[in-house]
């Protein structure tokens, strides 16, 4: 019964008195457990934070998941959801979590390893519908599958016929060690119909891909990068920025052909601007500066030497970065001085919740379970912090410092299970996946 409760600011405020207003005559031992459960549900429910959005509400869409990391909509009614540690792909159909998974794979689930990323490519031949392609990123336990004592981060392509995932094809084989942190894992089909994959530094920032100047013959290790590949055969996509750089004065290696961007410490979020087609990401800082970046071809994000705006870095400058041919550096478009555990980034591609949100960014975090909202500027090349928003101007430099008030960019709070994924549904509602409590919420109007 509690899956259909609709939460808003009023529910949160009323929760402490709900038991008091129940007539004393029904407060028998038989009713108390249910009343306590209602109280707990309401008092722990997330709420819309921005005061001018009172017509929006948050409702629990489904629960019962086990550490969900990513989801994708395969049609108007069906969502595929990944469970990190179990290695299972679950189905949510019209808000109901189906009992049986549609896929189980063998994963190494230590720390940030596991079943991590999913996306879908819809397919037709003329007017005839054929199997869709579903892409899944997970940390495969090679010891259990092949006897090899290693783990690999791998992307497989599956056929989806509406009821089953089958016919796995290995598209990309990436390192999983040393780790076990900073595996990245988000994947997205871009507007160019190519597959974009992000992987972090696996806690070993020691190559040119993390801006270390090293021997010119040393091999980049396929970490700290966004890769762009053909979703059919896994080959490097045509037009990638570092293709055919065999004569590069820093490195001689053909796998540069796969890279779209580098210098990324770790990321749990990539999304495409529906107007420009440009890629944006989130990036996790170490001791300071979580980031949101505009990622054009050849982007060098600066790790391990620069996090946050270059002006805030005392020890390094752009001159200390390893700049491959066709690469460039730019500052983040928004950053948090104190890391929030930034996770997914979603361009809200609908008008259902209101025109102000359309084609702008929602961002989740896993530390506090907050949901942020950022408006894209008129040039679609940065974010705009409205100086009139709630009367605050502290964020006009696009950096959230410790003393700053985050009210202008905080949209919703109280997702106690902590946010791992944010997606726009076919119905125009915004869906939020929470990790530790295994829930899926949606924001409706």
Same domain? For 79 and 179 the reply is yes
Q: Is the peptide bond before 354 cis (omega within 30 degrees of 0)?
A: no
Number of structural domains (the chain) is: 2
Same domain? For 151 and 8 the reply is no
Residue 333 belongs to domain with CATH number? 2.120.10.30
Contact 300, 321 (CB under 8 A): yes
Same domain? For 26 and 70 the reply is no
Same domain? For 281 and 247 the reply is yes
> Distance of alpha carbon 291 from its chain centroid, rounded?
13
Determine the Cα–Cα distance for residues 425 and 73; give it in Å rounded to an integer.
Answer: 7
The pLDDT of residue 6: 45
Same domain? For 28 and 136 the reply is no
Same domain? For 18 and 134 the reply is no
**pTM of this prediction?**
0.90
The pLDDT of residue 365: 98
The pLDDT of residue 14: 52
Same domain? For 292 and 143 the reply is yes
Same domain? For 17 and 102 the reply is no
Determine the Cα–Cα distance for residues 3 and 11; give it in Å rounded to an integer.
Answer: 15
What percentage of the chain's residues is helix, strand, coil (to nearest 5)? 15, 35, 50
Question: pLDDT of 47-106, one tens digit each?
Answer: 998 767 678 999 999 999 999 999 999 999 999 999 999 999 999 999 999 999 999 999
> Distance of alpha carbon 425 from its chain centroid, rounded?
15
Contacts of 129-132 with C-beta under 8 Å, sequence gap 24+, read: 131/159, 131/160, 131/161, 132/74, 132/159, 132/160
Same domain? For 136 and 18 the reply is no
The pLDDT of residue 389: 52
Nearest to 347 by CA among 118, 190, 156: 190
Same domain? For 35 and 130 the reply is no
State the maximum Cα–Cα separation within the chain, in Å, rounded to a whole number: 84
The pLDDT of residue 7: 44
Same domain? For 302 and 325 the reply is yes
Same domain? For 65 and 16 the reply is no
Contact 398, 335 (CB under 8 A): yes
The pLDDT of residue 145: 61
Determine the Cα–Cα distance for residues 29 and 1; give it in Å rounded to an integer.
Answer: 20
Q: Which residue has the tokens 């601007």?
A: 273
- Residues with Cβ within 8 Å of 243's Cβ and at least 6 positions away in sequence, in order, are 236, 256, 257
Domain span including residue 17: 1-45
Residue ranges, the chain, pLDDT below 50: 1-7, 10, 17-20, 22, 24-25, 27, 36, 38-40, 43, 247-248, 250-252
Q: What are phi and psi of 15, to 5 degrees?
A: -55, -45
The pLDDT of residue 32: 60
Contact 338, 402 (CB under 8 A): yes
Determine the Cα–Cα distance for residues 349 and 94; give it in Å rounded to an integer.
Answer: 21
């Amino acid at each position: 019964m509690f899956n259909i409760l609709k939460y808003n600011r009023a529910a949160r405020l009323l929760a402490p008195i709900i038991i008091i207003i129940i007539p004393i005559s029904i407060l028998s031992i038989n009713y108390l457990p249910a009343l306590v459960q209602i109280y707990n549900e309401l008092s722990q429910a997330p709420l819309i934070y921005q005061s001018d959005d009172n017509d929006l509400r948050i409702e629990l869409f489904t629960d019962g998941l086990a550490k969900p990391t990513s989801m994708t909509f395969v049609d108007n009614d069906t969502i595929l959801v990944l469970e990190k540690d179990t290695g299972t792909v679950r189905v949510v159909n019209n808000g109901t979590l189906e009992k049986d998974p549609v896929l189980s794979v063998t994963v190494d689930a230590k720390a940030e390893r596991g079943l991590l990323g999913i996306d879908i490519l819809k397919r037709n031949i003329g007017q005839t519908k054929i199997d869709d392609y579903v892409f899944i990123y997970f940390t495969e336990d090679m010891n259990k599958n092949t006897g090899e004592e290693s783990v690999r981060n791998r992307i497989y392509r599956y056929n989806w016929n509406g009821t089953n995932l089958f016919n796995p094809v290995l598209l990309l084989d990436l390192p999983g060690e040393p780790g076990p942190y900073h595996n990245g894992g988000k994947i997205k089909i871009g507007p160019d119909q190519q597959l974009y994959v992000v992987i972090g530094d696996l806690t070993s920032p020691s190559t040119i891909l993390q801006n270390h100047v090293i021997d010119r013959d040393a091999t980049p290790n396929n970490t700290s990068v966004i890769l762009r590949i053909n979703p059919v055969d896994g080959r490097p996509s045509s037009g990638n920025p570092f293709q055919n750089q065999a004569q590069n004065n820093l490195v001689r290696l053909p796998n540069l052909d796969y890279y779209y961007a580098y210098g990324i410490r770790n990321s749990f979020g990539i999304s495409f601007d529906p107007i420009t087609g440009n890629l944006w990401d989130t990036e996790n800082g170490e001791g300071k500066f979580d980031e949101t970046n505009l990622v054009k071809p050849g982007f060098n994000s600066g790790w391990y030497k620069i996090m946050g705006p270059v002006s805030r870095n005392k020890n390094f400058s752009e001159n200390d970065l390893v700049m491959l041919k066709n690469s460039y550096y730019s500052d983040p478009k928004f950053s948090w001085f104190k890391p929030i555990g930034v996770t997914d980034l979603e361009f809200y591609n609908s008008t259902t919740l209101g025109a102000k949100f359309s084609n702008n960014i929602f961002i989740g975090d896993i530390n506090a379970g907050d949901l942020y909202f950022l408006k894209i500027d008129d040039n679609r090349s940065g974010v705009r912090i409205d100086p009139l928003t709630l009367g605050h101007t502290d964020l006009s430099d696009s950096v959230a410092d410790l003393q700053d008030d985050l009210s202008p960019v905080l949209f919703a709070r109280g997702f106690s299970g902590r946010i791992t994924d944010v997606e726009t549904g076919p119905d125009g509602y915004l869906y939020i996946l929470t990790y530790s409590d295994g829930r899926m919420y949606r924001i409706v109007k």
